[in-house]
């Protein structure tokens, strides 16, 4: 029986772990895409484009979503707006999408759902190009997750075959 060099054995174990990580990440991205990203974006856009009411509001708060990697904060922020609904109530809600061009105290036009006043977005966020861009990102995430799953499965199958062959040798 021939001895298997340690670096080969170590390489195959690493490949096995990497394939499991790829499978996990691919599955997570797939579930995120199918269960949240695509349904959320489709719902917001269809409701607000269908029955949305456009009103003026005021930005009450903006919280940065992260950093740029160089220590500075991201320009993208989750913002809350206050506006008067068509029934006269004052409503404060978070915008459905992050924004990078508004700040606290700024007056902005918003579109809200009269059946669910918590569903609010800037008109530009539900415009054709932003919707197209968001849908492209959603579908890219879905395709990337499938590719990651397939690559992870292929690597895992290869790893298991090599491991079985090494045990027989």
The domain limits of the chain are: 12-168
Q: How far apart are CA 39 and CA 33, in angstroms?
A: 8
pLDDT at 4 > cutoff 60: no
Mean pLDDT of 86-104: 90
Contact by Cβ (8 Å): 60, 81: yes
Per-residue pLDDT tens over the stretch 117-127: 999 999 888 86
pTM reported for the whole predicted model: 0.60
| pLDDT value, residue 150 | 86
């Amino acid at each position: 029986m021939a001895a298997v060099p340690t670096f080969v054995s170590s390489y195959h174990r690493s490949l096995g772990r990497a394939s499991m990580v790829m499978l996990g990440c691919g599955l997570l991205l797939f579930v995120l895409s199918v269960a949240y990203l695509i349904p959320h974006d489709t719902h917001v856009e269809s409701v607000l484009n269908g029955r949305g009411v456009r009103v003026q509001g005021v930005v009450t708060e903006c919280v940065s979503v992260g950093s740029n990697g160089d220590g500075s904060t991201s320009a993208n922020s989750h913002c809350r707006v206050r506006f008067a609904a068509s029934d006269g109530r004052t409503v404060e809600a978070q915008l459905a999408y992050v924004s990078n061009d508004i700040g606290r105290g700024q007056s902005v036009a918003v579109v809200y759902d009269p059946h669910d006043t918590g569903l609010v977005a800037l008109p530009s966020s539900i415009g054709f190009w932003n919707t197209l861009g968001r849908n492209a990102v959603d579908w890219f995430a879905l395709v990337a997750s499938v590719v990651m799953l397939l690559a992870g499965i292929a690597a895992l199958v290869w790893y298991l075959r090599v491991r079985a062959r090494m045990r027989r040798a």
